[in-house]
Amino acid sequence: AVPRTRILATGGASHNKKILQVLSDVFNAPVYTIDTTNSACLGSAYRAIHGLVAETSVSLADVVKLAPEPKLAVTPAAGAEEV
């Protein structure tokens, strides 16, 4: 089953597995990262591209199809939802 929630972590803290594990446990969701320089800016860049092509009825999903694929970094620890 596909989880309903997933977290995409970017920036310097995304390299710290302990911080990612806390996020995963607190939100009871898997955490993904993108191995791309300046990944925190990536979302706004794709939104800007989407804005430029908005008159052509291109969806944001179509714009981000070429985005780097996020990689699973951590999953919730067993019993995290009970805490």
What is the three-class DSSP state of 7?
A: strand
Q: What is the predicted pLDDT for the residue at 1?
A: 52
DSSP class of residue 2? -
Cβ atoms within 10 Å of 63's Cβ, excluding its own: 19
pTM of the model: 0.70
* 24-47 pLDDT per residue, tens: 999 999 999 987 777 768 778 888
Half-sphere exposure of 51 (CA within 13 A, CB side): 6
Q: What is the predicted pLDDT for the residue at 2?
A: 55
